[in-house]
Amino acid sequence: MITSAQLRAARALLGVDQRQLAELCELSVPTIQRMEASDGVIRGNVDSLMKLIGALDRAGIELIGDNAISQGGGRGIRLRTARSPDARQDKSTAKKP
């Protein structure tokens, strides 16, 4: 599984535009555009998704699912669920009892 946000982030990490990614995946630019415009998990033709994921993998992108551990040793980022406003409050400004 890959989400549209992961796809956009992967493309940004690789420094490629939609046309270049389409060439890497052997897909059309409109297909890449539809995938990136999806809401959440990308749904579509299984063959197209496999081409996309395979091309990203060959380019060095590791897709990490929710609560999964990364097996790679490279640098990366992970989008986590945002904390509540109370948890984000700086402890130095928090009121003391």
3-state secondary structure the chain: CCEHHHHHHHHHHHCCCHHHHHHHHCCCHHHHHHHHHCCCECCCCHHHHHHHHHHHHHCCCCCCCCCCCCCCCCCCCCCCCCCCHHHHCCHHHCCCC
Token duo for residue 33: 């555009």
pLDDT higher at 78 or 17: 17
- Per the CB < 8 A criterion, the answer to whether 25 and 55 are in contact is yes
Give the predicted TM-score (pTM) of the model: 0.75
Q: Quick check: is 90 in a domain?
A: no
Look at residue 37 in the predicted model and tell me its pLDDT.
95
Q: Quick check: is 91 in a domain?
A: no
Q: Per-residue confidence at 86, pLDDT binned at 50, 70, 90?
A: low
- Per the CB < 8 A criterion, the answer to whether 18 and 33 are in contact is yes
**Residue 12 domain boundaries:** 4-58
Look at residue 44 in the predicted model and tell me its pLDDT.
83
**CA–CA gap between residue 46 and residue 49 (Å, rounded):** 5
With a cut of 70, say whether residue 21 has pLDDT above it. Answer: yes
Indicate which CATH number applies to the domain containing 40: 1.10.260.40
Look at residue 12 in the predicted model and tell me its pLDDT.
94
Q: Quick check: is 11 in a domain?
A: yes
Number of domains the chain contains: 1
